[in-house]
Amino acid sequence: MARITIDPVTRIEGHLRIDAVVDGGQVQKAWASCTMWRGIETILRGRDPREAWFFTQRFCGVCTTVHAIASVRAVEDALGLEVPLNAQYIRNLILIAHALHDHIVHFYHLSALDWVDVTTIPQADPTKTAAVGESLSDWPGNSDKQMKAVQAKVNGLLESGQLGIFANGYWGHPAMKLSPEVNLLALSHYLQALEFQRKANQIVGILGGKTPHIQNVAVGGVMNAINLNSLATLNMDRLYMMKDLFDEVIPFVQQVYFPDACAIAGFYPEWFEIGKGVQNYLAVPDLPTDIASTAFDLPGGTIFDGKLAGVRRISGQRDEYFRKGVVEDVTHAYYKGRGPQPPWQGETIPDFTDFQDDGKYSWVKAPRFGGKPMQVGPLSSILVGYALEHELTRKWTDLALTRVSAIAKRPITVDQMQSTMGRYLARAIRAAVLSELAVRHWGLLVSNVQKGDATVFNPPSFPKDAVEGVGFHEAPRGTLSHWVVAKDGVIANYQAVVPTTWNASPRDEQGTPGPYEAALLKNPVANPEKPLELLRTVHSFDPCMACACHTLDVEGRTIATVKVL
Amino acid sequence: MTPLRIAVFGLGNVLLGDDAVGPFIVELLRAGYELPANVSVADLGTPGLGLPAYLSEADAVVLVDAVAARGEPGEVRLYRRADLHRVPPKPRVSPHDPAVQEALALVEFAGGGPRDLLLVGIIPEHATLGAGLSERVRGACQPAIEAVLRELTRLGAPATPRAVAQAPNIWWAGQ
C-alpha cells in the first residue's frame, strides 16, 4: 500500500493537492485539497458594484474574462437591469473566443502528453503519419513534409539529452498505447495549436481592448462604441478582422482538435470505464440572445444519478431552482461555519488546521446543489444539452460517438461518456458546438448593427435598500456563479462559486466526497512512483484553482511524493 | 533594419500582496518614463499557458516577477535564459502550473520565442490577500526599475524620464 501526494509548489503558497491511497494497483481513497486561502471575495466588500468586475477578473490569470462577465451579470441581475442586444452579442463572442482558446490549450498543451509518448516519435514513419492524418480529416496541415520537420525537431531534442519542454513526462509508461505515427501526428498538432490559441486570444483582444485583462465591460452593457464609419470604434474593418480570425480558428477546432480527441478516445476505449465519480451534473444556460437574458443558445439544467431522462432545465438566472439550490458546506474546509450556507449569506472566516484525513483538509468550500455534490464542466453541459435535445449538441455528440466507435471497433454510447475519457471528448464536442455558435453570434451582431442599432449600454442606478443578484456563466471549466449583495450603492457581500470549487470540493457534512475524490476511486495506478493514470483523471476535469498565486520558482522543488504505508 | 520588438511584461496577481510587484513596476515605468515606439509594456497578470503567445510576439523580452529564491525579501535577482532552463519543468496539474520556464521552452521548441530574455526577479516577503506591497519589496522597486532601464539601453532602446512624471495607475491599491 502506498500514499501518493501530488502537491505542485510552482508557486509560493497554494495549490491543488491530490492525495491517494493506492493498493492492489488501484486508488482506494482520495482527497482533493487546495492549499491556499481562497477568500479573495472579502476584498470587494464596501466597493462600488460597478467596479467589482475589474477586481474579479484578477481572481484568476487564466480565466480573466469569465470572472469579469459573471460579475457584471450578477450586478445587473440585482438591479433588474436589461442588457442591450449589441452588448449581449459582444460579450458572447468574447466568451466563445476565450473558451475556444482555453479548450485548445487544455487538450494540446496541458493534457495531450498524458496520452502521447513523445519518445516513440523517432520510430514513426512520416509518410504513414501523413496518411493517418488524411484518414482522420481534410486539414491541409498534415503533409509528409510537415511530419518530417516535426520528427526532426523531436529527434534533435532527444539526441541532445536536454528534453526541455518534455522533461517531465512519464515516457515509456505501460499505460501509453499510441503508435509512433499517431504520437507524431498529435505532436505536430500540439505545435500548430500554439498558433491557433494565439489567434483565438486576438479575437478577445479586438473586442475587449486588451488581453489578458479586458477593458470593455460595464454593468449595463459594454463600452465598445459602435460606429460603422469611424476608425476609432467597432467598425466594419474590426468586425471583419474578427471574422477572419474566427475563419482560421474554426477549421482548426473542427478539423484538427475534434478529430484528434475522437481518435485518442478511440485508441484508449478502456478509459470510458474509468473515472465515473459523482454522477450528478450541473450546467447553466449561456449565450443570451435577448435583452432580459431569458433566451439562450446553450441550454442548462441538472441531471442526477447519471439518469439523462430525468434532466431538469434551468431557465435562467431568475430561476428559483438555481437560486435556491446552491449552498456551500465548510465541514471539511478550513473555515468557520454553521452548516451549509447559501452564497448570499456566505461567510469566509478562515479556520486553519493541518491536513486532517478525517477533519478539515482544504481551502476549497464544498458547494452542493439540493444537498448533492455536482460535477460541472463540458461533460455536464454536453449531457444536459443532449438530454434536452439541443440540436447542435446532439449533432456533434453523435458524430463524435460514431467516430470513436469506429476507431475503437466497439460501440461507445453517450452514457459511457460519464467517465474520464468522456470528459476529454465532451470538451472537444463543446468546442465544436461553440465554433458554430461563433459564426451565428458574429452574424447576429453585424445584422443588428446594420439595422442601425448602436446601443451598447443601459446606465445602472442603485437603490438604498439591499438587493441580491446572481450572475452565471458556463465557463470552460463549468458553471461559474457570482453572488452579490449591494446596499446603498456599495457591496455588502460577494461570493464566487467557481467551477473548480464544485469539482475539487472536499467531503461534506455527510462525508460524501467531491467529484475529483469520487472519480479517482478504483483508478488504476500501475506504478505509484509514476502516477500517470491518476493525472489523466485529474486533468480530465481541467483543474484551475481560481486563486492564482503564482510566484515563480526559480530553484526547482519536487512535486510528487510517494510514501509506502 | 526593422527595430527589435521589445516587450516588458509584469507578471503576478495584483490582489496578493508582494505578488503584485511585477504589475506595480510596469505601472511605475509607464508613469515615469517615455519609451521608444518599439518598446511595449504590459501587465499580464498570471497568464499560465497564455504566456507563450506573448513571448512569441517579441524579439526581446524583459519579465518582472516575484521569484521564490533563497535570499532576503526585497532582493533583486537577474536571470537570463540559461538560468531558467536549468530549472526542470514539473508535471502540470492546472493551467497556472506551466511557469515561465515551461512557456519559454514551449515557444523555443516550436521554433519561435524572443532572442533576448531577462527576468528581473524580486524575492517577496508575503503574498497575502489585499495586503499591498511590503516595505522591503517597495524598496526593491527602484533597483528593479533600474535593471529594466539598463536592459532597454543595452537593447538600443533607452527610456527617458518624463519631464513631468504622471501618477502611476495602481488601481488595485486602496479602497
Tell me the ipTM for this assembly: 0.90
What HEC string does A224-291 produce? CCECCCCCCCECHHHHHHHHHHHHHHHHHHHHHHHHHHHHHHHHCHHHHCCCCCCCCEEECCEEECCC
Contact between B96 and A16 using a beta-carbon 8 Å cutoff = no
Name the 3-class secondary structure at A220. coil
Residues of A in contact with B95 (CB under 8 A): 62, 102, 105-106, 110, 542, 544
Percentage of chain A modeled with pLDDT above 90:
74
3-state DSSP helix/strand/coil % of chain A, to nearest 5: 45, 15, 40
Q: What is the pLDDT of residues B112-154, one digit of tens each?
A: 899 999 999 999 898 777 768 999 999 999 999 999 999 999 9
By residue count, chain B amounts to 175
- The distance of B64 to chain A (nearest Cα, Å) reads 10
Q: How many domains does chain A have?
A: 1
Q: Looking at the predicted structure, is the pLDDT value of residue A558 above 50?
A: no
| Residue A237 reports pLDDT greater than 80 | yes
From chain B, pick out residues whose CB is under 8 angstroms from the CB of A55.
Answer: 15, 172
Contact call for A61 and B45, based on CB within 8 A: yes
State whether residue A521 is helix, strand or coil.
coil
CA-CA-CA-CA torsion sign (B120, B58, A11, A202):
positive
Residue in A closest to B102 by C-alpha: A165
pLDDT value at A38 more than 80: no
Alpha carbons B120 and B75: distance in angstroms, whole number: 10
Q: Check whether A24 has a pLDDT greater than 60.
A: yes
CB A520 within 8 A of CB A536: no
CB contact under 8 Å between B172 and A55, yes or no, is yes
The confidence score (pLDDT) of residue A228 equals: 81
pLDDT surpasses 90 at A432: yes
Domains of chain B: residue spans and CATH: 6-161 (3.40.50.1450)
> What pLDDT is recorded for position B68?
78
Torsion of CA A227, A231, A233, A239, to 10 degrees: 80
Q: Which residues pair with A467 in a beta bridge?
A: A486
Residue A410 DSSP class: S
Buried b (16+ CB within 10 A) or exposed e, A475-514: bbbbbbbbbbbbbeeebbbbbbbbbbbbbbbbbbeeebbb
Q: How far is B165 from A70, CA to CA, in rounded Å? A: 37
Can you give the pLDDT at residue B139?
97
Cell 524598496 locates to B139
Q: Which residues of B touch A37 (CB under 8 A)?
A: 129
How far is the C-alpha of A77 from the C-alpha of A292, rounded, in Å? 9
- Domain that residue A486 falls in: 2-564
Q: Please list every residue in chain A whose beta carbon sits closer than 8 Å to the beta carbon of residue B87.
A: 553-556
Mutate to test the interface with A, among B109, B137, B170 (most CBs of A within 10 A): B109
Map grid coordinates 449583495 to a residue: A485
B136 and chain A in contact, CB less than 8 A: no
**What is the pLDDT confidence band of residue A13, given thresholds at 50, 70 and 90?**
very low
> Can you give the CATH number for the domain in which A465 is found?
1.10.645.10
Angle at A485 between CA A482 and CA A491, to 5 degrees: 100
- pLDDT (average), residues A328-336: 87
Chain A residues with CB-CB distance to B124 below 8 A: 12, 551
Whole-structure pTM value: 0.94
Residue B131 touches partner A, C-beta closer than 8 Å: no
**Smallest CA–CA separation between A167 and chain B, in Å?**
6
